Chain A
């Protein structure tokens, strides 16, 4: 599908989960045992047949670039087009972006030279799976200027802090966009994915830039909801939004539900990720594992319950890991006991340590820590 160009913002929302993002962007947040958050949006684009994707980065993009490589795993390593990564300062007039419009302005040349007629703009802040063919068709059929993806979902007060809530007419037209409103309950939540024609995007970005406006949500969606026909397209599939450390924990734990995995990982719409060539998981003599997800490269000699083990994790003899998220290459020493814990990458928990958080307050252990 050369008529749809994908633009992905890998950095937005990162301030929301600051514990996990001091050295990484949202896109490279490890999730679900073997994924980075950007895998979901990139796979949905690839599974929709989108062949050209530009990734906009801002800070801490080294781990993201390493993860993406040339985009081969998402079949985005193409002879022309394919995956393109835009770091800040990639052009003389670009710099640290104040908002998405600044960033889009700095890649106007890329937009102009693309053969696409339409552009789909996505953030990296949720675990979901879909394709965009129907949304694009709906955009064209409705005659809308902009079509935005939303889902009707219950919103807790803290979730609303990082959400745009839509008020819609019966025909799906967006009447108002409320940014971080003080609301709770069921609402139409914008999922930070929009489709528009490339020509309109070029015009809007140039025009906003000339007025020193930089916020896509505030200066385009909100300010121009009356002036332009903005259409809301409903997403009915599974989604979990990441907007806090707790929501990150919950979103991971939700993957233990077989129903959720069935919705997220259908065979015909795989979620692609970087291949690491790890050996299969080895379960030792004393291993006792229940209700857990494990990625390749793990060695389990102890007990694991209600937990997610990322690639290359070692759980020693008589160690017990419960209700925890253990990221890549973490070593849990013999006789240690972890409950309600999130360890970042390369953490070492020595023998006999006890770490316990609480369901509403899982302990987070920073990358590379030795305990």
Chain B
């Protein structure tokens, strides 16, 4: 066998999720590749955390719509992961002599790539999710793991009690040793939630993954199967308490909120920290231009954007154009989208390469929507043209070109269902 340089630790990023709750935004790309925060994609946060924590070998496990993610990661250079020994590797499912398998669960995905891990003979393996927004120094977590002589350390943070049943909830003793772990419990025993970040001592990982693979009843999932099995057999599992900003951007609402959090200086997620940069593959565009009569406040905007209209509480990506007289409020506008004169966009996520026609109206403000059950963030999928004067109601999800309007046919009480479109439950 080829001799590889031994590594103290390597990271494996689970990036195969379809992100079906992101609806039309993940029609053609995997969730970790969804644009975020003006110039990033979601996976940039995890990749940058790895590099900033001193990890130089990273496997990215892809499965769903991998093309864009493959292209985006490329040779890893933007994250300084083009290395002579190690670097970043995209690991899709593959055919083996015994047959081919899709990744059937998080644990199975790692299990199928054990040979990749073993090449580097690491002492520790860090397992991460590619769809979380946060900054974290994993080297501190590793220090904790070694101090506790743990078999596995799980990063955990406090979540509000009423949200606890959405997470893997763990309880630990005074020393931090985990005493119970329940995946999405109906009656949570605590509010310490697993962040889906694990450090394993390598021999333990291999042992439990092999055992799990033998177990036909297992769903091959870390949270559901592997961690409970380890607990049951008395392995040393520790909870590493994390304090700081962390968000799972798995839904339209959480994606919208996480983007808006960037506009709030009181939220502890500073993109500008020179000591902990978030790296991304950059668009080659000139600086942004703000026109003579433009009004831009409470927003973040990046290279190549041209703004002549009004932008407030919004996140604008590369090369977005907001024409004179157009208004964008409380919205996320992804690369290359054009908002024509007089159009009004409120509480919307508009994907890449869309055109919002003159005088069109996309989304609405909660205060203008009498029936709050009809209100929500509007989503426009990649490449959609909204015709001049058309109206896209709140909470609608538009996959194809849209020309329904004009406004008088659609007052605020008319739900999108009546115009024959998809509305989220």
Contact = CB atoms under 8 A, between A and B. Distances in A.
Given A283-B297, A289-B290, A296 B302 contact: yes
A2 interface: no
Interface in B275-311: 277-280, 282, 284-303, 306, 311
B292 to A, nearest CB: 4
B104 interface: no
B196 interface: no
A177 B249 CA distance: 65
A292 interface: yes
Nearest to B295: A288
Interface string A270-312: 1111010111111111111111111111010000100011000
Interface string B313-340: 0011000000000000000000000000
B277 A277 contact: yes
B294 A289 contact: yes
A290 B293 contact: yes
Contact of B297 (A270, A277, A284, A304): A284
B296 A270 contact: no
A270 B303 CA distance: 13
Contacts of B315: 280
Describe A's contact surface by its main secondary structure.
Answer: loop
A260 to B, nearest CB: 11
Contacts of B251: none
A204 interface: no
A245 interface: no
A224 to B, nearest CB: 40
A264 B316 CA distance: 23
B420 interface: no
Interface residues of B, number: 38
Contacts, number: 103
Nearest to B277: A277
Given A277-B277, A278-B272, A283-B300, A291 B287 contact: no
Given A34-B287, A297-B272, A280 B280 contact: no
Contact of A283 (B289, B293, B299): B299
B384 to A, nearest CB: 21
Given A280-B271, A285-B297, A33 B302 contact: no
B254 interface: no
Interface string A5-41: 0000000000000000000000000001110000000
Nearest to A295: B287
A32 B287 contact: yes
A359 interface: no
B301 A280 contact: yes
B301 A281 contact: yes
B334 to A, nearest CB: 13
Interface in B206-247: none
B286 A34 contact: yes
A32 B292 CA distance: 18
A265 interface: yes
A225 interface: no
B118 interface: no
A282 B300 contact: yes
* Most-contacted residue by chain B among A34, A280, A287, A297 (CB, 10 A): A280
* Most-contacted residue by chain A among B37, B279, B294 (CB, 10 A): B294
Given A72-B77, A265-B286, A295 B303 contact: yes
A258 B321 CA distance: 13
Given A261-B286, A294-B290, A279 B271 contact: yes
B105 interface: no
Contact of B285 (A255, A265, A278, A283): A265
Given A277-B279, A282-B300, A271 B288 contact: no
A289 B288 CA distance: 12
B322 to A, nearest CB: 13
A121 interface: no
B39 interface: yes
Given A277-B277, A277-B279, A278-B272, A292 B289 contact: yes
B16 interface: no
A271 B286 contact: yes
Contacts of B277: 277
Given A283-B299, A290-B291, A33 B78 contact: no
B38 interface: yes
A168 interface: no
A275 B279 CA distance: 10
A256 interface: yes
Contact of A291 (B286, B291, B311): B291
Contacts of A290: 290-294
A296 B286 contact: no
Nearest to A312: B272
Contacts of A34: 286-287, 303
8 contacts: A265-B285, A275-B282, A277-B277, A279-B271, A280-B316, A283-B301, A284-B297, A295-B303
Given A264-B286, A279-B39, A293-B288, 5 more contacts: A72-B77, A280-B39, A285-B298, A292-B290, A295-B303
Interface of B: 37-39, 77-78, 263, 265, 271-272, 277-280, 282, 284-303, 306, 311, 315-316
